[in-house]
Copies of this chain bind each other. A is one copy, B any other.
Amino acid sequence: MTERSEFRLTIACPDRMGIVARVAGRIADAEGWITEAAQHTDLEAQWFFMRWVFSLPAGGEAALNRDLAQQALEFDMRWSLSDTRIRPRVVILVSREPHCLTDLLARWRSGEMPMEIPAILSNHRELEEVASCYGIPFEHIPVTPQTREQAFQRLQDSLQALEADTIVLARYMQILPPNLCLQFRERVINIHHSFLPSFVGARPYHQAFARGVKLIGATCHYVTEELDAGPIIEQDVARIRHDDQVGDLVRKGRDVERWVLARGLRYHLEGRVLTHGNKTIVFD
C-alpha cells in the first residue's frame, strides 16, 4: 500500500447548498480517506464551518491545495490545510506563578500537546529553573514602567527570531501592546482567572470573594486589544464554600486555570478552534 500522510482541513465561509458535496468530492478525487469530520452551520449568521481530518497518498496535497484554492474563490472561503505531523512552535510567557507552566510542560512531555516549545520568556527569573529542568531555553526580558516600550520591542524581536506560531500567556500578568495583539491575531492565548465576563481586570479572586459567589472560574481566550474581551475558547468552574478564604480561592483556582488553559491550548493546536466575530466554534 502507498505511503499516506494525515492532513487537517478547516473551512469557514458563507453557507450555501452543496458545500459538503463539493469539498468531499475534491477530497475523494485526491483519494483522501476521512477519519474525523465535524461541521457547524450558524443559522443566524448563515455561515458554515468545518474541520476534517483525512489521509492522502504521498504528494497528494499539492493538487488538493490547488483545487481548494480555486474553490475558495468561488465560495468565499477562509480555509487552511495542514499536515498534522507539523507541530506549531509555541512560545510561553510567564511571570512568577509556576502552576500553569509546570502543567503545560508535564503535558507536553507526556506527548499530549502537539507542539514545539522553542523558548520560555519571562519578565522575572523565578521560573528559570523550571525551564532548565525540562531543557527549554529561558529568556529574561524585564518589564518596568520606564522600559516598557523597549521591553516589548525586544519581546517582539525574540518572538520573530523564535519563529513563534502561537504565544501562550501562562499567567504572564502583563498587558501586551496592541500591535503585538494584532500581529498575532487569534494566536495569543491567555488564561484569565475568573469566569468572564465576571471580574474583568486585576485581582479577580478578591472580587469573587467580596461578592460571595459559590463557584469560581477560569477563562481561556484569544487576546485582543480590549482587555479580557477576546473570543472565549474554554471555561470551567470549581465550587467554593463559605469557609474558603481568598487564599483557598487562589489554590482551588490554580487547578481550574491549569485544566482550562491546557484544554483550550490543545483545541487550538489541533485546529479545533474557528472564530466568527467575537465567538469561537470549538470542534472538541
Is A281 interfacial (CB-CB < 8 Å)?
Answer: yes
Contact B41 A36 (CB under 8 A): yes
Contact A28 B17 (CB under 8 A): yes
Contact A24 B20 (CB under 8 A): yes
Residues in B whose Cβ lies below 8 Å from that of A254:
110
User: How many A residues touch B, CB cutoff 8 Å?
Assistant: 64
Contact A195 B212 (CB under 8 A): no
Contact B195 A211 (CB under 8 A): no
Contact A212 B198 (CB under 8 A): no
Give the distance to chain B from A133, nearest Cβ to Cβ, in Å: 4
Contact A21 B28 (CB under 8 A): yes
Cross-interface CB contact of A214 among B41, B103, B235, cutoff 8 Å: B235
Contact B251 A112 (CB under 8 A): yes
Contact B21 A27 (CB under 8 A): yes
Cross-interface CB contact of A195 among B27, B198, B236, cutoff 8 Å: B198
Is A69 interfacial (CB-CB < 8 Å)?
Answer: no
Contact A242 B43 (CB under 8 A): no
- Dominant SS at the A interface? mixed
Give the distance to chain B from A113, nearest Cβ to Cβ, in Å: 10
Contact A213 B237 (CB under 8 A): no
Cross-interface CB contact of A98 among B19, B109, B279, B280, cutoff 8 Å: B109
Contact B242 A213 (CB under 8 A): no
Residues in B whose Cβ lies below 8 Å from that of A38:
37-39
Is A278 interfacial (CB-CB < 8 Å)?
Answer: yes
**Complex Cα spacing A28 to B133, Å:** 51
Cross-interface CB contact of A196 among B24, B37, B133, B213, cutoff 8 Å: B213
Residues in B whose Cβ lies below 8 Å from that of A106:
98-99, 102-103
Contact B235 A213 (CB under 8 A): yes
> A18-50: contact bitstring with B at CB < 8 Å (1 yes, 0 no)?
111110110110011111111111011000000
Closest to A34 in B: B20
Contact B259 A236 (CB under 8 A): no
**Complex Cα spacing A44 to B35, Å:** 12
**Complex Cα spacing A43 to B243, Å:** 9
